[in-house]
Structure 1
Amino acid sequence: MGSLTPDWWDFFRAAGILRPMIVISESVWIAVKDRLSKSTAAAALALVFEKVRAGEVICPCVCLNVMVENSEAVKPYIRRSFVGRLKRPAACVCVTADDNKRP
């Protein structure tokens, strides 16, 4: 990423790099980019990436295809999804001194 202040172009390029990590095919990514704006495509991929990481989505290509098919409603859906994820309590794994005393 070029500058110290990232913009949507940087985020879009990063999404293209993350795409193969969750097995999004090139053809699906091209369809997403063609149908949605670059910023919405990048946000959609970021949301799907997060859902795959959390174990909520098994087939990311299908998830993105559904977003493309419902492109009119995808921006509000992405916004609600990110806001909902931000409101979730963060997972915390705490290790106490007692945990170290297990046999």
Structure 2
Amino acid sequence: MGSINCLPDTAFEQMVETKNIFHKTGNRQGYHVIISFSPEEKVSAEQAMYVLEHFAKDVLGDDYEAVFAVHTDREHMHGHLIWNSVSVTTGKKYNSPK
């Protein structure tokens, strides 16, 4: 498990606090993305973590709190990335256009 802009053990509390600070506690609370790899790709847990962390940093930068984890209990390697809908730096909601 890893994180950016928050601590993994207290990420939820930190995200709620960010929402409270900026008075944005309603509507969409966060985002969830799954990045998965084909079993034929033979991706290790370390490689999957690298992809998750760098994807999170590239997409979210220093603006959003995020946690990510890799599942190793399935036939295919995959990871989950969850981030706060409210920016920790600006208080703006994440914009996810179609």
Coarse TM-score class (shorter-chain normalised): 0.3 to 0.5
Q: Flag the structure with higher strand content.
A: 2
Structure holding more helix per residue: 1
TM-score, normalised via structure 2 length: 0.33
TM-score (norm 1): 0.32
Query: Which protein has the larger Cα radius of gyration, Structure 1 or Structure 2?
Result: 1
